[in-house]
Every structure is written in C-alpha cells, then in structure tokens.
C-alpha cells in the first residue's frame, strides 16, 4: 500500500485523551507541516464519516464510540490550524472532501465495509493501521513540539481503536492478521493495550475487594473489574450479533491508496 504521506511528501479512541493545542511562542510551522495538517484534518474526518455510516448500517456501538473520538481528533487538528491562521480547505460536511483522493477512498471503504459486519470491522482496522503508519511518519517529519504532541496523542488513540476492532473481530470468531503494519508491530500494540487492560482490572479488583470485605468477600469482583477494564473501554464489546450472515470478504488491495483516523 502506498503511504499517503510518502505520496504527498508529508503525511482515531479514546474520548479520555486530552490533546494540548495551546500555541507556543518559540515554534513555527513549515510548509510541510501546514500541508500535513490540512491533509490530516480531512483524513481524520474520513475516519469519522466512515464509522458513522457503518454504525448506521450495523448498529454496532464500537463504530459510534470511535466516531465520537475521531470528531475530537478533527477538532484538535482544526484548533492548531486556526491558531496559526492557516486557511482550512475542508468543507466540514460529512462525506465531502476537497482532497479528491480522499473522496474516492471514502466511497471505496464504504463499499467494502457495507458487505458484512466482518468487512466493516476489517475496514475499521485497516483505517487505524494506515493511520498509525501515517502518524509515525508525520511525527518523524516535523520539529514542531506542539504538532508532535498532537500526532503522538492521535497515534495512541489509533492504537486503542485498532485493538478495539481486533477484539470485536475475535468476538465473531475471526483471527485478525495485520493488513498494513507488520505482524510484530501489531503484536506490540495488542500486548501493550492488553497489559493496560489487566492493570485496570487489577485496580477494579482492589476496589471491589474493599467494597465487598464487609459482605461475602467475593461478590462480583470479576464482573465489575471487567466493566472497569477492557470490555468497558471497547464501548460495545458484547454488542455484536450472535448470528452473522457469512458473506465473502471484499478483497482489500494492499497496494492501493488508503487513509488511516
């Protein structure tokens, strides 16, 4: 797959992530920084709009939750664009992109994702994988600390989103394989998120143990810890239908242009 940043020379999650977009006095934006920010603004919008449509089609809460995160990402990128008095080229309308290649990608991804729930989740994971790759390159190509901070937070969110989609695929019996990033990188992302989930579960167990110490000593520790941890984070982990009509996957051309957000 050709990377968007490489093609243009410069080129979402988690509602708990706070992105610092306050301006700094000792930094400037290069023309490459500006080009990347303008592209990223619509790239994040593309993710939001695809997830909104897939949520309308399948009703799986994970799409709705991650779409909300993508909107926050769009707002964060837009905030920096405005602070530096850059003229935005985004229309702001759902499904409308002033960058022609993103407009075509939007239609392509919707077509692929609408075939079945499995396809929809695969498209979600694909978007996040490409976003991860693009953000890593974008971070390496800027010296602006404010922009680095923005992209680093977006990268962390994309890692979380990818893990959410992989988890949903596993819920319906699918073993996920990396589509863009390497299997080693995928494993590192999943292991990191799982370790965080286990840490959250540990905190949940401690709180529940204290709460139940005056009752039965056990109570609902496991269930409540699960709600406080990874399952709750997914925002729809158990919402997948018990029955899913098996429709053959729409092939994803690994050499075609795709976005990430």
* pLDDT tens-digit series, residues 170-189: 999 999 999 999 999 999 99
**Whole-number pLDDT of residue 199:** 64
What secondary structure letter does DSSP report for 175?
Answer: P
- Residue 240: is its pLDDT beyond 50? no
The residue whose two tokens read 């978007």 is 127
- Residue 217: is its pLDDT beyond 80? no
Closest by CA position to 246, among listed 116, 120, 121: 116
What secondary structure letter does DSSP report for 143?
Answer: -
Q: Is the four-CA dihedral 15, 113, 241, 164 of positive or negative sign?
A: negative
Buried residues in 210-226 as b, exposed as e (16+ CB within 10 A): eeeeeeeeeeebeebbb
Measured CA to CA, the distance from residue 105 to residue 49 in angstroms comes to 12
Could you give phi then psi for residue 59, rounded to 5 degrees?
70, 20
| pTM for this entry | 0.69
Q: Are 23 and 83 in contact (CB under 8 A)?
A: yes
Higher pLDDT, 7 or 145: 145
| R_g (Cα) of the chain, nearest Å | 19
Closest by CA position to 52, among listed 7, 92, 94: 94
**Whole-number pLDDT of residue 190:** 94
Distance of CA 117 to the CA centre of its chain: 17
Token output for 5: 């940043």
**Whole-number pLDDT of residue 49:** 97
- Residue 205: is its pLDDT beyond 70? no
Measured CA to CA, the distance from residue 45 to residue 93 in angstroms comes to 9
């Amino acid at each position: 797959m050709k990377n968007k940043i490489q093609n243009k020379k410069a080129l979402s999650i988690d509602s708990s992530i706070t992105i610092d977009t306050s301006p700094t006095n000792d930094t400037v934006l290069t023309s490459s920084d500006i080009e990347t920010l303008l592209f990223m603004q619509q790239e994040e919008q593309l993710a939001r709009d695809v997830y909104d449509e897939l949520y309308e089609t399948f009703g799986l809460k994970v799409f709705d939750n991650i779409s909300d995160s993508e909107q926050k990402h769009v707002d964060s990128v837009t905030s920096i664009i405005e602070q530096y008095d850059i003229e935005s080229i985004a229309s702001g309308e759902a499904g409308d992109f002033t960058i022609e290649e993103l407009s075509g990608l939007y239609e392509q991804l919707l077509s692929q994702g609408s075939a079945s729930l499995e396809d929809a989740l695969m498209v979600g994971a694909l978007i996040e994988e490409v976003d991860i790759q693009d953000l890593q390159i974008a971070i390496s190509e800027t010296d602006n600390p404010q922009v680095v901070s923005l992209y680093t937070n977006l990268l962390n969110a994309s890692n979380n989103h990818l893990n959410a989609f992989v988890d949903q695929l596993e819920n319906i019996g699918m073993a996920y394989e990396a589509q863009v990033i390497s299997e080693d990188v995928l494993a590192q992302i999943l292991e990191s998120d799982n370790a965080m989930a286990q840490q959250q579960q540990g905190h949940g167990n401690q709180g529940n143990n204290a709460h139940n110490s005056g009752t039965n000593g056990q109570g609902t520790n496991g269930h409540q810890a699960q709600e406080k941890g990874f399952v709750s984070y997914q925002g729809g982990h158990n919402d997948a239908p018990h029955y899913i009509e098996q429709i053959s996957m729409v092939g994803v051309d690994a050499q075609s242009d795709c976005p990430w957000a």
